[in-house]
Amino acid sequence: MVEEQKYLSIGELFDLSGKVAIVTGGASGIGFACAKRLAEAGAAVLIADLNSGAGKQKTKELTTADYKAAFVKCDVTQGPQITNMVNTAVKTFGGLDIIVNNAGRYPKKLITEMDVKAWDRVMDINFKGVFLCCLRASQQMIKQERGGSIINIASASAFHPTIGFTAYDSSKAGVWMLTRTLAVELAPHKIWVNSISPGPIQTEGCSSPEDITFNKRRLNRILMGRIGRPDEIANVVLFLASRASSFITGSDIVTDAGWTLT
Ligand code: NAD
């Protein structure tokens, strides 16, 4: 997507007019913040989520504000639903230029309590789901011959083990290496693949009293002394989706206010 680039103005760097983006898990938290930011930059955005009610409501929020957006129900563990998601982007908006692979879950379970079913569930969504979306999206991008940008939401937990998150941390470490390998394989097609590793971010998915207590305990290890907001991850997604990142592929941007340093 990013051509060999001349010097561009700030406005040109971040202008996504004419681009089409998919955000998986876009009905909530970090995903919705990404969908909104990309739409604000001019992209047409397809929100894909398991949760139809929230997905349709959030899409309406964007269309009511005159942004280009649509919703498709998609479970990222199901190949045919991912094919339908990509086909919907093509049918509705004319192609696919950007995909943000954000859908994920972070259930807490000690390894001594873990069974294969619980392990598989986390891996199916967080790791295999990202692989399947990368696969189908890159096939579409290659067919279009205009390059593209794949942005995977990993986690600072890929580099920083936490008790109770064996499956989650492993799945996100997998996303990190998947990103690097795909960057190498897809570069000849001008498809740039990067990931973002957020630290603790306040979202709907981690708003139970137990989650809030857990995050409070981590505060003294976050150098900025606070939990992050979803839009602070969406800003990095915008950077990676835009021409401001024209010389970046195969990178992970740790966005954790210093949590992994402590
Ligand atoms: P969230 O729970 O608020 O939102 C996740 C969204 O994904 C929901 O809308 C949910 O319906 C959707 N989803 C879940 N399973 C799905 C599936 N199989 N197919 C399609 N959609 C599905 O979560 P969040 O906190 O915004 O996290 C988003 C991503 O960011 C996840 O990958 C998570 O691992 C990662 N992350 C979050 C944090 C954090 O502190 N919140 C930190 C690091 C990484």
Q: Is the dihedral of CA 66, 68, 70, 76 positive or negative?
A: negative
Closest ligand 1 atom to residue 25 Cα is 7
- 2 lies in a domain? no
Cα-Cα-Cα-Cα torsion 24, 26, 30, 36, nearest 10 degrees, comes to 120
8 Å CB contact between 219 and 127:
no
Exposed/middle/buried for 261, CB within 10 Å: 0-12, 13-18, 19+? exposed
Does residue 3 register a pLDDT over 80?
Answer: no
CA dist 225 and 227 (Å) reads: 7
CA dist 89 and 91 (Å) reads: 6
Mean pLDDT score, 223-242? 98
Q: Is 67 in the active site?
A: no
Count of other CB atoms within 10 angstroms of residue 174: 18
Q: Is the dihedral of CA 137, 141, 147, 148 positive or negative?
A: negative
Q: How many domains does the chain contain in total? A: 1
Angle of helix 166-186 versus helix 116-123 axis, rounded to 10: 40
CA dist 231 and 51 (Å) reads: 21
| Residue from 22, 23, 28 to probe ligand 1 pocket by mutation (most atoms less than 8 Å from CB) | 28
pLDDT digits (tens, 9 = 90+) for 141-174: 999 999 999 999 999 999 999 999 999 999 999 9
- 66 lies in a domain? yes
- Quote the domain boundaries for residue 42: 14-254
> Atom 44 of ligand 1 has which residue's CA nearest to it?
155
Give alpha helix (H) positions in 14-115.
Answer: 29-40, 52-64, 79-93
Closest ligand 1 atom to residue 55 Cα is 9
> Atom 41 of ligand 1 has which residue's CA nearest to it?
201
* 94 alpha carbon – ligand 1 mean position (Å): 27
Per-residue model confidence (pLDDT) at position 216: 86
Distances 161 to 37, 80, 126, 260 between C-alpha atoms, Å: 30, 34, 16, 10
pLDDT digits (tens, 9 = 90+) for 94-106: 999 999 999 999 9
Mean pLDDT score, 128-136? 98
Task: Return all residues near 164 (Cβ < 8 A) that are at least 6 apart.
Answer: 108, 109, 110
* 181 alpha carbon – ligand 1 mean position (Å): 23
* 153 alpha carbon – ligand 1 mean position (Å): 9
- 49 lies in a domain? yes
pLDDT digits (tens, 9 = 90+) for 11-59: 999 999 999 999 999 999 999 999 999 999 999 999 999 999 999 999 9
First to last CA, the chain: 37
Per-residue model confidence (pLDDT) at position 4: 67
pLDDT digits (tens, 9 = 90+) for 52-85: 999 999 999 999 999 999 999 999 999 999 999 9
Exposed/middle/buried for 106, CB within 10 Å: 0-12, 13-18, 19+? buried
- 9 lies in a domain? no
The pair phi, psi for residue 160, each rounded to 5°, is -140, 95
18: domain CATH number is 3.40.50.720
8 Å CB contact between 133 and 24:
yes
Exposed/middle/buried for 121, CB within 10 Å: 0-12, 13-18, 19+? middle
C-alpha gyration radius of the chain:
17
- 216 lies in a domain? yes
- 8 lies in a domain? no
* 188 alpha carbon – ligand 1 mean position (Å): 31
Per-residue model confidence (pLDDT) at position 10: 97
- 179 lies in a domain? yes
| Residue from 24, 77, 106, 168 to probe ligand 1 pocket by mutation (most atoms less than 8 Å from CB) | 106
The percent of residues above 70 in pLDDT, for the chain, comes to: 98
Closest ligand 1 atom to residue 105 Cα is 34
CA dist 97 and 71 (Å) reads: 17
Identify the residues whose C-beta falls under 6 Å from ligand 1.
24-25, 27-31, 49-51, 74-77, 102-106, 125, 129, 153, 155, 198, 200-201, 203-206
